[in-house]
Structure 1
Amino acid sequence: MTADQLPADRQPVIIAARRTAVRRANGAFKELRAHQLLAPVLVNLLADTQVPAEAVTDVVIGNAVGGGGNLARLALLEAGLPASVPGVTVDRQCGSGLDAIVLAARLVAAGGNPVYLAGGVESISTAPLRAYRNDDGEPDFFARAQFVPHSFGDPDMGVAAENVAARFAVSRERQDASALRSHLRALAAAKAGHFAGEITTVETSAGPVRDDDGPRAGLNAAVLNRFPPAFVQGGTVTAGNSCFDADAASAVVVTSLQRARELGAADGLLVLTTDTAGVDPELLGIGAAVAAERLLQARGLPAASVDVVEFNEAFASQTLACLDQ
């Protein structure tokens, strides 16, 4: 989708963003189901932008490990939006939340001057147990859904991260250094107050929760070096250079440039181009680099012309391989 030549009533723009703290699974948010975790984020977005709840066109939410149904609709009603507001839930696994925002932007580009709330939520703590029925009709529980046919390998994400590290020669040392840098930057950003305007306080039975608990103070190279391989014997991907299971929610307001001006938005983020790519499932972490390359080609831009590149940090091996590409 290219939108920089669209009229103002169809030019997608993000005018507000909110998130909860990112907390370790079975921790501070362990009693909250996904819709309960997302609801206060939606409430804050409406308050931040002064968008009347009844003016919301739709709520688009990504979710990968929920219990089915329509989580977006459940969350918006939990947040107090009127029953006249619809909701839709999308699932592209790890890309679900971002894909929800892309979908909202494309709907804005289609016209109608709408206002969307879009984002994602996961509650690993309260994710339902899943099971197939075996030949005897008894439940056969599984840890995760099947991503691709078994003929493609269907590796667990940690194994795929090892595959990426091996294929693209990302050493253990580079992975640990990247992980340490990520922790230090997150700690510095929090200390400087950079997250203050985006984090929504969530009330729990133990009290309000506002701070991330992933970044570790005191982490250093020696500590990271002591972590054993987490997924493959003799491998380089460890718990120290991988993400942890977490509970969190985030969302943005996506509307047209014209509507943003009408709402008095002082600034925003124009959505000019989006792309999505499929890759070999054995190397699933490299997909972001392929999509980014296609996006740059579509815009006729060299990579050097881009000021900031952000990749998700599921595994340091995947992040570094994408940056190398």
Structure 2
Amino acid sequence: MNAVVVDAKRTIFGKQNGLLKPFLPEDLAAPIIRFLSRKLGDQVDEVILGNATGRGGNLARLSALQAGLPLSVPGMTIDRQCGSGLEAVRYACSLIQTGAGTMYIAGGSESSSQSPFSERARFSPDAIGDPDMGIAAEYTAARYSISRSLQDEYALLSHQRSRNAHDEGFYREEIVPLGELETDEAFLKTRPIEAIIPRAKPVFDTSSGTVTAANSSGIADGAAALLVMEEEKAAALGLKPVLRFIGSAVSGIHPNFSPAAPVVAIRQLLHTHDVTPDDIDLFEINEAFAVKICVCSQELGIPFSKINVRGGALALGHPYGASGAALVTRLFYEAKRRTDCQYVIAAIGSGGGIGLALLFEVLA
């Protein structure tokens, strides 16, 4: 059985303690669930959401009920830290492949502004190493010889791509408004990013570091989700799928070098399905740090021209549990716009050194 993506949406992304501060995670997720489930009612088998910094409880069930889905529709919440939203999509696709169900809403929601926790979760035992993600980014840059200039070069490229995507209306296609909020907070004012990036000082290793606030993503609030179906079910409902799930890979590396985790997952995924980076038309890899994209490009031989072609978290921000689902949402709309895509990959790395990658075939 084939799992296909027939629709995808996200909220705007807002800075931590910014525009979306009043919204709880369920307030962010419910409008998307309501939009994706319109006219489907109790045909949805389950809502699966990722979340990393919430208050606990079953956010997916709470969000489904707040969205007005029938009481018969259950929900499940997943925590794989930054990979939570992408894991939710992976799990939904896998359930369809095994015949456990035919229709899921899968994604993630994060309100860092509403988190009750003053400190981050532990990623790894101290005996192994439990660095903050910024320090892990510095370790990764040093281990893979990624220079400050290369990180800044990619950061500038990503910011320019994001601004262009916003200006050309591409992001508008992705967004379900929250009342009058329909523009990502990053674009409400113009910043001289070309001047800011080279002037930024290292923030994690202030003596000799290369990772700055300008080549790192900001913490954000937001939600994203996809409508995933069994392919024959979509045909029966007259819905046109855009992406067909082919497979996935998850892997672990040393927590000290967690930004490099997508490299291992992508390499494993390519090997399993006997394809090369040249066979993949587009990659969406979460931009928690520019160094992450630089390492993936360098180690896998992927040109920047194939990675995050409409920008990403360096400009928009990183709402942890939602970011992975936002990657697939971006691929969904980019694949619809193009006629030259056959295969695409979404990948993410998370604290503790876990990489996750999903391969899709483009049907649009």
Aligned length: 297
- Deviation (angstroms), 1:219: 3.0
Q: What is the CA-CA distance between 1:218 and the residue it aligns to?
A: 4.2
After superposition, give the CA deviation of every residue in 1:113-160 in whole Å (9 maximum; x if it has no partner): 51100001110110113xxxxxxxxxxxx5111111111110000000
Q: Which residue of 2 aligns with 1:222?
A: 195
Task: Report the alpha carbon displacement of residue 217 of structure 1 after superposing the two structures with TM.
Answer: 3.5
Name the structure 1 match of 2:236: 262
Code of the aligned partner of 1:299: H
Contact 2:37 2:44 in 1 (8 A): no
Distance across 2 between alignment mates of 1:284 and 1:199? 30
Distance in structure 2 (CA, Å) of the matches to 1:240 and 1:70:
35
Write out per-residue CA displacement over residues 63-99 of structure 1, whole angstroms, 9 at most, x where no aligned residue: 0001111000011111111111100000100000000
Matched, 1:166 2:157: no
CA distance in 2, matches of 1:237, 1:150: 23
Question: Is 1:105 aligned to 2:93, yes or no?
Answer: yes
Q: Distance in 2 between matches of 1:32 and 1:220?
A: 29
Q: 2:79 corresponds to which residue?
A: 91
Deviation at 1:222, TM superposition (A): 2.8
Greater helix content: 2
Q: Could you tell me which residue of structure 1 aligns to residue 161 of structure 2?
A: 185
Q: Distance in 2 between matches of 1:88 and 1:303?
A: 34
Residues in 2 aligned to 1:221 and 1:126: alpha-carbon distance in whole angstroms: 32
- Counterpart of 2:358 in structure 1 is none
TM-score, normalised by the number of residues in structure 1: 0.89
Q: CA deviation at 1:302?
A: 2.0
Given the alignment of the two structures, is residue 24 of structure 1 paired with residue 12 of structure 2, yes or no? no
User: Residue 113 of structure 2 corresponds to which residue in structure 1?
Assistant: 125
| Cα separation, 2, equivalents of 1:145 and 1:266 | 40
Shift of 1:257: 0.6
User: Between the two proteins, what is the percent identity of the paired residues?
Assistant: 40
Q: Alpha carbons of 1:25 and 1:121: their partners in 2 closer, same or farther (altered >3 Å)?
A: same
The answer on whether the counterparts of 2:13 and 2:185 sit within 8 Å (CA) in structure 1 is yes
What's the RMSD between the two structures over aligned residues? 1.3
Normalised TM-score (structure 2): 0.79
Number of the residue aligned with 1:316: 290
Equivalent AA in structure 2 for residue 229 of structure 1: P
SS of alignment partner, residue 236 of structure 1: coil
Give the Cα separation in 2 of the matches to 1:68 and 1:113: 26
CA contact (8 A) 1:41 1:250 kept: yes
Q: Equivalences for 1:51-90 in 2 at 5 Å?
A: 52-90=40-78
Alpha-carbon deviation of 1:214?
2.7
Structure 1 or 2, whichever has the larger Rg, is: 1
Find the partner of 2:184 among 183, 207, 212. Answer: 212
Counterpart AA for 1:32: F
Give unmatched runs, 5+ long, in structure 2: 300-364
Read off the aligned partner of 2:109 and give its amino acid letter. V
The one of 272, 275, 278 equivalent to 1:304 is 278
Matched-pair contact (CA < 8 Å) for 2:21–2:113: yes
C-alpha displacement of 1:46:
1.9
In structure 1, runs of 5+ residues without a counterpart are 1-9, 130-141
Runs of 4 or more off by more than 4 Å in structure 1? none
